């Protein structure tokens, strides 16, 4: 069996098994370009913005309390604490992220709410990069996502190499005749 035939068999086996995963990656990647469409704005205060010169910031626990109570009031939720905090010093704002894809942006100096959103694009992102596997298998080390990423990356590399060889080898044979 020639190297070309071996590559064809290997390429065919890998491609047929991984077709569904590559299809999902392509589909979710395309959907991610429309990520803003999957965001629902619950509240927006255009009169208040962040202080571009954030010289004094309220303590984070105070900001979180204000943000959580405002979110619960405006979005009809019952959150007690945020999951993640992002401080944007250049904009003078603090973002708090909650379960179920809720987020609230507040002024860092006053705690006044600027924007409340619910982002539905997170599940698309999780499917695209394999993070959904970690949530399905409750793995704190993100091992499932890493294994998925390594397998998909190496498979794509293998399919690229074998596909290029299968395309190029017949051209070399014709040229040498």
**Domains in the chain: boundaries:** 3-33+130-169, 37-119
Tokens 């202080």 sit at which residue?
A: 51
Per-residue pLDDT at 95: 94
Q: What is the pLDDT of residues 69-100, one digit of tens each?
A: 999 999 899 999 999 999 988 888 999 999 88
As given in the structure block, the two tokens for residue 33 are: 């370009």
CB of 155 within 8 A of CB of 18?
A: yes
| Stated pTM of the model | 0.63
Q: What is the pLDDT of residues 7-65, one digit of tens each?
A: 888 888 888 888 888 898 889 989 888 888 888 888 887 777 666 666 788 899 999 99
Q: What is the pLDDT of residues 128-145, one digit of tens each?
A: 888 888 777 765 666 788
Extended beta strands in 35-131, E state: 39-44, 84-88, 93-97, 102-107, 113-119
């Amino acid at each position: 069996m020639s190297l070309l035939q071996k590559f064809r068999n290997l390429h065919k086996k890998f491609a047929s098994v991984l077709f569904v995963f590559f299809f999902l990656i392509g589909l979710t990647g395309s959907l991610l370009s429309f990520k803003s469409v999957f965001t629902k704005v619950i509240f927006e205060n255009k009169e208040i913005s962040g202080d571009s010169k954030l010289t004094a910031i309220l303590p984070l626990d105070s900001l979180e309390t204000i943000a959580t109570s405002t979110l619960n009031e405006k979005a009809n939720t019952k959150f007690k604490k945020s999951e993640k905090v992002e401080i944007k010093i250049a904009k003078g704002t603090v973002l708090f992220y909650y379960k179920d894809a809720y987020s609230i942006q507040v002024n860092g100096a006053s705690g006044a709410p600027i924007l409340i959103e619910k982002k539905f694009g997170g599940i698309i992102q999780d499917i695209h990069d394999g993070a959904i596997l970690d949530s399905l298998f409750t793995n704190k080390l993100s091992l499932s996502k890493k294994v998925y990423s390594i397998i998909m990356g190496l498979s794509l590399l293998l399919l690229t190499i074998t596909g290029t060889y299968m395309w190029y080898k017949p051209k070399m044979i014709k040229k040498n005749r």
